[in-house]
Amino acid sequence: MDLGASLASTRDTLYDLTNKRILITGGTGSFGQLFIKTILERFDPAAVVVLSRDELKQYEMQQKFENAEEKIRFFLGDVRDVERLKQAFRHVDVVVHAAALKQVPAAEYNPFETIKTNILGAKNVIDAAIACDVEHTIALSTDKAANPVNLYGATKLCSDKLFTAAGNYVGVGRSRFSVVRYGNVVGSRGSVVPFFLKKKDEGVLPITDKRMTRFWITLQQGVDFVLDTLGLMEGGEIFVPKLPSMNIVDLAEAVAPGVNIEVVGIRPGEKLHEVMVPEDDARSTIELEDRYVVLSSVTSPETSKWSKKGKKCEDGFKYSSDLNDQWLTIDELRKMSVPFNA
């Protein structure tokens, strides 16, 4: 599935980042680097600000973007530090909040550290954006925030709730807050494709459960979806793209044809199938051609502007990877995995 093509219906709303100042928290990560590369290719922003904690990663990123050094600013800082965020957010038009502690086992072992970054950090981003009158702030979420079964997912759900409610505190300011939630990113840090590629040389791939399914998206598609959402957001929404699903056994065959499979069982905090719109959210969800829009709990679907753009989901609906009507073939999965098999 070409998500870029599916976004064509909303391209007239594309938010023009020319002459804008854009900041991305956690900007040295894989998403942040591709996001910055993409906006530098498509627009002429006034400045792009990278805020992150690791000076080595910032140094390495400076080498990659040395031809755009007049555009990119690097800030050492932590989303746990609201005063530093306020310094960084001054005169910024757009904030993309990508900083988070994301590894499920690490979150279970260090729960309050995860809370301080993922929940209190989200509150700090909101407070700084309002204080500095940032126009658009988008937070990156995860499928694990829908009906969470682990601490990481629970902290991201709380973050989502903070962002969708943030508009209640803006008053007369221009600040607007929304969330983008999508599924597994092909080849992202700690994801299954690099793990399978590493294991295939051993002749056996460990599979948790042969029934397991996941939504599947490339990093570029994720970046494009965030950029597209900037032109759509009114504030208070969670935007969920319509994505194809894949079966874990098909992925194993795509990455390592003919390799032996060992079923090892589902790990603690893991789901058999991914859900991005739970049943309980269906009553406040609007379906568009290429995405779902989950409205905040204080917004009525009947009176929302989104009701004129799409249709309200029926009670009992859920957007789950096992119930999808779009499935990736083994050949399609293989093509998506090629960059990591080079």
Give the CATH number for residue 42. 3.40.50.720
Structural domain including 144 reads 3-183+216-243+276-320
* Known catalytic residue at 144: yes
pLDDT at 189: 66
Q: Tokens 């600040």 belong to which residue?
A: 175
pLDDT at 341: 55
Q: Determine the straight-line distance between the first and last CA of the chain, rounded to whole angstroms.
A: 22
Q: Please tell me what DSSP assigns to residue 266.
A: P
Count structural domains, the chain.
Answer: 1
pTM listed for this prediction: 0.93
Q: Is residue 234, in this structure, part of any structural domain at all?
A: yes
Closest CA to 277 of 188, 183, 211: 183
For residues 125 and 139, the answer to whether their CB atoms sit within 8 Å is yes
State which amino acid sits at residue 18: T
Residue 305's DSSP bridge partners are none
For residues 49 and 88, the answer to whether their CB atoms sit within 8 Å is yes
Q: Is residue 195, in this structure, part of any structural domain at all?
A: no
For residue 310, with 0-12 CB atoms within 10 Å meaning exposed, 13-18 middle and 19 or more buried, which class applies? middle
pLDDT at 75: 97
Q: Exactly one of 20, 57, 102, 144 is catalytic; name it.
A: 144
CA–CA gap between residue 293 and residue 319 (Å, rounded): 12
Residue 245's DSSP bridge partners are 215, 327
Q: Is residue 329, in this structure, part of any structural domain at all?
A: no
CA–CA gap between residue 314 and residue 279 (Å, rounded): 9
Give me the average pLDDT of each 10-residue run along the chain (342 residues).
47 80 96 96 97 96 92 97 98 98 93 98 98 97 94 97 94 93 80 83 90 94 96 96 96 90 88 95 95 89 86 94 96 81 52
Q: At what angle do helices 121-131 and 151-165 cross, to 10 degrees?
A: 20
Q: Is residue 66, in this structure, part of any structural domain at all?
A: yes
Q: Is residue 270, in this structure, part of any structural domain at all?
A: no
pLDDT at 243: 97
Half-sphere exposure of 293 (CA within 13 A, CB side): 26
Burial code (b: 16+ CB inside 10 Å, e: under 16) for 248-264 equals bbbbbbbbbeebeeeee
CA–CA gap between residue 288 and residue 305 (Å, rounded): 12
Helix (H, G, I), strand (E, B) or coil at 9: helix
- Where do runs of H (alpha helix) occur along the chain? 3-6, 30-42, 55-64, 82-89, 104-109, 111-115, 121-131, 151-165, 192-200, 219-230, 248-255, 330-337
For residue 71, with 0-12 CB atoms within 10 Å meaning exposed, 13-18 middle and 19 or more buried, which class applies? middle
Q: Is residue 14, in this structure, part of any structural domain at all?
A: yes
Residue 50's DSSP bridge partners are 24, 74
Beta carbons within 10 angstroms of residue 67's beta carbon: 8
Q: Is residue 208, in this structure, part of any structural domain at all?
A: no
Q: Is residue 103, in this structure, part of any structural domain at all?
A: yes
